[in-house]
Each structure stands twice: as structure tokens, then as C-alpha cells.
Structure 1
Amino acid sequence: MGVPIESLLPYAIMMGMFAFSAGAVGQLKHMQNGGKAARRGLDAWDRVMMERDRRLTGFARGQTDKPQAPPGFELNNPWRVEGRFF
């Protein structure tokens, strides 16, 4: 006895939605990283360098070959200074 095709239609729709969602999320991550593959297993140094690149170029994965920092970068310090107890 065969399986009617109508009973498989909901499963095909669900699988199509899963495939579309996975593709959309992958494309969104690709776009957010400036067209590069997503980074995995980042350590503290990688995060610091990505934050520096973000402040320089506007993208966390962007890099520049300019020897001089853009105007205003000297005041854009990411370090937090503790308050002294006086």
C-alpha cells in the first residue's frame, strides 16, 4: 500500500522552511562580517583586535592599510580607567 503524496506535503514544507532559515541566517552572518566567513573560537586577543578594527574601519572584520589613524581616533580610547580612592 502506497503513501499518498498529500501526507508528505507538510513535511516538505517544514524542510523547505528549515533550509530557507538556515540559508538566511548564514547569509546574514556573512553580510555582518563584511563578506568574510564567521569567526569561531575567539580569544581575548582576537576580541581586542576586532574591536580595534571596528573603531578604525567601522567593521569588526575590516582592515586598513593606512599608516595614519583617522581624525578623532586618538580620543577614541577603549580602555576604561578606574576611579581613584582619594
Structure 2
Amino acid sequence: MAVPFETLIPYGIILAMFGVTGAGMSKIKNMQNGGKRARRSVDQWDRQMMDRDRRITGFLRGQSDSPIAPPGFELNNPWRVEKRMS
């Protein structure tokens, strides 16, 4: 027995909405990463380097090839120093 095509319309709408949502999320992540693909499995070292890049360029995924640090970067230290007991 054949299935009327009207019963498949909601499934088509749901499938289209999943596609639109996936494409939109992909585009937003792409825009947030400065046009680069989203990072996966980011460990502590990657976070540290991405934070350094953000401090140098202003973008989380931006990189600079300038050998001279921008003004004020020499005082912008991300390292946390423990307080010594005297």
C-alpha cells in the first residue's frame, strides 16, 4: 500500500530545518574564528597559544609575523605567579 505524500511533508520540513541550523552554526563558528575552521581537541598548550595570539592581534585565532611586539605587550603577562610564603 502506498503512503500519501502529504504524510512525508513534516519529515521534509524537519530535515530542512536541521540542514539550515547546521549550516547556520557552521557559519557562526567560522565567523567567530576569523574565517578559519573551528578547533577540536584544544589542550592547555593550544589555549595558551591562542590567548597569546589574542593579546598580540586582538583575535583569538589571529597570528602576526611582525618580529616586534605591539606597544604594551611587554607588560601584558598571562603567567600566574604563586604568592611566596615569607
TM-score clears 0.5:
yes
TM range (shorter): 0.7 to 0.9
The equivalent of 1:47 in structure 2 is 47
Superposed, 1:54-69 pairs within 5 Å as: 54-69=54-69
The equivalent of 2:76 in structure 1 is 76
Given residue 39 of structure 1, which amino acid in structure 2 is its aligned partner?
Answer: R
* Paired positions, count: 86
Given residue 2 of structure 1, which amino acid in structure 2 is its aligned partner?
Answer: A
Given residue 67 of structure 1, which amino acid in structure 2 is its aligned partner?
Answer: P
Structure 1, gaps ≥5 residues long: none
- TM-score if structure 2 supplies the norm length? 0.88
**CA distance, structure 2, for counterparts of residue 83 and residue 39 of structure 1:** 34
**CA distance, structure 2, for counterparts of residue 16 and residue 75 of structure 1:** 51
Percent identity among equivalent residues?
Answer: 62
Structure 2, gaps ≥5 residues long: none
State the Cα distance separating 1:41 from its structure 2 match.
2.4
State the Cα distance separating 1:73 from its structure 2 match.
1.0
Runs of 4+ aligned structure 1 residues displaced above 3 Å come to: none
Given residue 68 of structure 1, which amino acid in structure 2 is its aligned partner?
Answer: I
Q: Deviations over 1:37-83 (max 9, x none)?
A: 11222232222111110111111211111111111111211011112
Given residue 44 of structure 2, which amino acid in structure 1 is its aligned partner?
Answer: A
- TM-score if structure 1 supplies the norm length? 0.88
